[in-house]
Structure 1
Amino acid sequence: MTIKEIKKAALLNFTEKGYDGASLSDIAEEVGIKKQSIYSHFKSKDELFITVMKEVIDEETKFLHQFFSHYHSDLKSYLEDFILKFKERYVNNEECNMKFVLRMAYMPPVHLREEVVYNFKLYFSELENLLNELFLSEKAFSKKAERATLSFLTILDGLLVALMYGGIERFNQKFKVSWEIYWNGLLND
């Protein structure tokens, strides 16, 4: 049970304080163990971080596959639901995976940058592939699936940055304005 608690506390600390601000002492204190006890499970802070990162990416990739396996025929509302589900996953205090994903994808630890960026590229590539398959499956978008996918990802990126730096109100404001413009542009492309 302790290893699970260590990883959970590490996830919260890395998410709230970033890699550099998170300390093994704080993580240990949160779990109720001594810092040295962490070393019986992880060789270093780097190993703990990489383990947490890979588990978060795995969980979020499973979420993507689960979401995209339940497609319904109204593409507009389906994609809208997807964006709102991302927001919900970011805002949910108990589930800080999306906060971790966004913080570490945009601001990875400098000395782990190459490995972190590689792993997040795999995650975002999986999202891109799932979206592309979705657009290919729709007759109205099959010939422009790549453009539809890239434009959707661009609006999603912008909305997630608004959520990270502007909060829920700013996200909602930008989503309300941009979604209809995006969708109408997609239809008229």
Structure 2
Amino acid sequence: MHPVECSIMLSVTYRLNPTLFASSSLRACPAPSVPHVTRVRARSLRMASVEQEVIAVTQKLLNSIAGGDWQTYQTLCAKDLTCFEPEASGNLVEGLDFHKYYFDNIDYKASSESQKANKPILLNTIASPKVRVIGDCAVITYVRLTQKGGSAPVTARAEETRVWEKRGGNWVLVHFHKSIPA
């Protein structure tokens, strides 16, 4: 059993029945302190909150891509963003210019309202997310499911890893790696 789990179990046991710790054989080992459990639980809750933040900001980024929202996309990305993605043919891409090209040239940038009304619906879903927080950085790995509507709906799947850094109180994407969609 992990030491933290053991400490939590002892603390809970002590709170429920402190007389168990009154025997002379246990006096060498002081009763666990309840504040420790509170600190551990508070840290766990903070970590869960940070994980939810990272998932939410990742979904916001994917929504900006699906909707052709360059303003939101560039706000969420570092100017020195790096990535490996299928569109780059195995090359490391640096900066935002490569990505801007797609925002400027994809169908969601249709000029007339009638063209926009006929555009295929695009939906991105984050499946099986796993977040690891390391100081002011967070790494999220997940399966991205992209559904494209239209006359023949299609779902594509890709594995993605994104590295976020907390800058000025905001999460900023600094690197990502995307597999070839299947």
TM-score > 0.5, shorter chain as reference: no
TM-score by length of 1: 0.28
Q: Could you tell me the TM-score, scaled by structure 2's length? A: 0.29
Bigger helix share? 1
More strand by share: 2
